Structure 1
Amino acid sequence: MKNNVLKGSLYVALGATSYGMLATFVKIAYKEGFTTAEVTMSQYFLGFLGLLILNLFRREKSVAKPETSGLKSVFKLILAGSSLGLTSTFYYLAVQYISVSVAIVLLMQTVWMGVIFEMLVHKKMPEMRKIISVCIILAGTLLATNLLEESVIINWKGFAFGILAAMSYTATMYSSNNVELHFPVLKRSLFMILGGCIVVAFIFYSSINSQFSFAIFLRWGIMLSLFGTILPPLLFTKGMPLTGMGLGAIVASVEIPVSIAIAYIVLDEPVGFLQWIGVILILFAVVLMNLQKR
């Protein structure tokens, strides 16, 4: 049992680490002259192609009745996957204006947004433990984003994109845990990424012109699609059943320090002492929110 939990935690941690590296890759791509349209489209189109190939060579059994796997279910998954495309688009736009450390903290606001979303959907007040956790997250965000520092000028365009990314990420988290769970993992991921592809193509359609650099597909597209759209869903799906949602959410929060640490090492982005205190507060709140009652 302990070995299974340890194995599951490792899968979830690797999935979260994969997500944590994305923003740094995107920042480097921006420095090389690539645009948000090129970065996002290459990630989703190659990601969809990769999942399509995996689906062709690996057959998985559905865990529900065959009649529930019709066109209606496929359409639901494609629609649910549209929030994936929005999350990446808003997140990568945010990274264009603000540092990776601030962007990842804003993206993780999905923790308290998820609490509010659950409250609205289920029409039930959250437990006091969750309310306290939300307050701690907000306090940690003030520190982690340097909002209290008068000498620091926050780019509000990047801040707004970060919050929009968190909102769409909240929708993604909900659909990942609730929409058409009977589908095999690979097929489910394929249709959700297809939804993301459609949204990204719709948003950036006008950017496909003579100036669009298709070099992005080989330069960064393969890496972004691997670490952003192929590996994480597979690792989370393998790990979460072994850890359970509570422990899984705690382990997945490693994405925050990993993202900040990689940006600090690779991009040399400054991270102050108060920012680290803010990150620790957010991580503590995630643990508090997901601790099971004995």
Structure 2
Amino acid sequence: MFRGIILVFLGACSFGILSTFVKLAYKEGFTLGDVTGTQVLFGLIFLWVMVLLRKLLGSKSNSTSFREKLQLAAMGTSTGLVSIFYYKCVQTVPASIAILLLMQFTWMSLLLDAVTKRKLPQASQVSMVALVLLGTCFAGRLFSDNLPAFDWSGIGYGLLAAMSYTIFLAVNGKAGNKMHPITKSAILLTGACVLIFTVFPPVFLINGALLHGLFKWGLVLSVFGTVLPPIFYAYGIPKTGLGLSAILSAAELPVAVLMSSIVLQEEVLPVQWFGVALILMAIVIANWTTIFKRTDKKAAAVPVAEIAH
């Protein structure tokens, strides 16, 4: 179980450092299309090579219909929207604020679930939502006189990213549940790649940007954003269970804020750390009861992307 805890924690940390790398890429003059395009393209290459290697090594895979694969690719477009909206948010607001906006998927998921099932949320869930919103207010300095200067449209992009991720979580479990996580991730990323290249044609392949620094950012973002986390979660979640994994995956939040402070030199006040602590507390409360339940069998069958971005 200890190895599972380490793997899930490392997967969350991988996601947490993405916003810092994106900011650094922007500082070098690369665009939103460059960043999102190279990440999905390089990630797609890595994942499909891994799928091919598994087949060459004789690994068994469950048969899946073409229709189900097509459904998965369509679902993957929602992850493409997450990348577009989140990285646009990172372009316009501090990285420490962008990750807070993305974390709003926690209460959005509960709200969507309540609407679709026509069932009022439990008291513990309402408490979690209240803590998340209160923590966001503190972490975003809304109760402070010195609000950071940024484009307020970034707030909208961040919330759209959280909404897109909420939709992805809602539909993700409807197809491909018998696939190997790497194969499923590859198909999902294929759909995301089609969407992103439709919105942002991959001009970086012909304008020389790859040879002028973009290659390294695409490599870093794909490894830490689309390759390592799915693998870590695939092997870690079945060992730890969904409840503990959800709590461990929340490490993404403090890692992102810490990286923005150390690497990007963004000002992070004590009140913001207090807000981060409230959000983490909300996630712990929401998942505390499931930690003590035997969820290993269910966890093994749950898609990696139920927790990953």
TM-score (norm 1): 0.92
Alignment equivalent of 1:155, drawn from 144, 151, 156: 151
Show CA shifts across 1:238-260 (max 9, x none): 11111111111000000000111
Structure 1 residue 284 corresponds to structure 2 residue 281: yes
Counterpart residue number, 2:121: 126
Alignment equivalent of 2:234, drawn from 230, 237, 254: 237
Q: How does 1:89-100 map to 2 (within 5 A)?
A: 89-100=84-95
| CA-CA distance at 1:212 after TM superposition | 6.9
Paired AA for residue 26 in structure 1: V
Structure 1 residue 14 corresponds to structure 2 residue 10: yes
After superposing the two structures, state which structure 1 stretch, 221-230 or 238-247, moved more. 238-247
After superposing the two structures, state which structure 1 stretch, 176-185 or 141-150, moved more. 176-185
Alignment equivalent of 2:210, drawn from 200, 214, 225: 214
| CA-CA distance at 1:33 after TM superposition | 0.9
Question: For the aligned residues, what is the CA RMSD?
Answer: 1.8
CA contact (8 A) 2:37 2:202 kept: no
Alignment equivalent of 1:198, drawn from 194, 199, 205: 194
Where does structure 2 lack aligned partners over 5 or more consecutive residues?
Answer: 293-309
The whole-number CA distance in structure 2 between the counterparts of 1:14 and 1:209 is 31
Q: How does 1:26-41 map to 2 (within 5 A)?
A: 26-41=22-37
After superposing the two structures, state which structure 1 stretch, 11-20 or 230-239, moved more. 230-239
The whole-number CA distance in structure 2 between the counterparts of 1:233 and 1:210 is 30
| CA-CA distance at 1:130 after TM superposition | 0.6
After superposing the two structures, state which structure 1 stretch, 201-210 or 218-227, moved more. 201-210
Show CA shifts across 1:265-290 (max 9, x none): 11111101111110000000000001
Decide whether aligned partners of structure 1 residues 212 and 172 sit closer, same or farther in structure 2, where only a CA change above 3 A counts.
Answer: farther
Alignment equivalent of 1:137, drawn from 132, 136, 146: 132
CA contact (8 A) 1:61 1:184 kept: no
Structure 1 residue 274 corresponds to structure 2 residue 271: yes
Secondary structure class of the residue paired with 2:209: coil
The whole-number CA distance in structure 2 between the counterparts of 1:30 and 1:185 is 31
CA contact (8 A) 1:90 1:162 kept: yes
The whole-number CA distance in structure 1 between the counterparts of 2:275 and 2:150 is 16
CA contact (8 A) 1:144 1:276 kept: yes
CA contact (8 A) 2:15 2:225 kept: yes
| CA-CA distance at 1:205 after TM superposition | 2.2
CA contact (8 A) 1:119 1:126 kept: yes
Paired AA for residue 199 in structure 1: L
CA contact (8 A) 2:204 2:210 kept: no
CA contact (8 A) 2:78 2:164 kept: yes
Structure 1 residue 83 corresponds to structure 2 residue 78: yes
| CA-CA distance at 1:210 after TM superposition | 7.0
CA contact (8 A) 1:76 1:179 kept: yes
Paired AA for residue 14 in structure 1: L
TM-score (norm 2): 0.87
The whole-number CA distance in structure 2 between the counterparts of 1:61 and 1:147 is 53
State the number of aligned residues: 286
Where does structure 1 lack aligned partners over 5 or more consecutive residues?
Answer: none
CA contact (8 A) 1:82 1:196 kept: yes
| CA-CA distance at 1:175 after TM superposition | 3.8
Decide whether aligned partners of structure 1 residues 247 and 209 sit closer, same or farther in structure 2, where only a CA change above 3 A counts.
Answer: closer
| CA-CA distance at 1:148 after TM superposition | 2.5
Counterpart residue number, 2:298: none
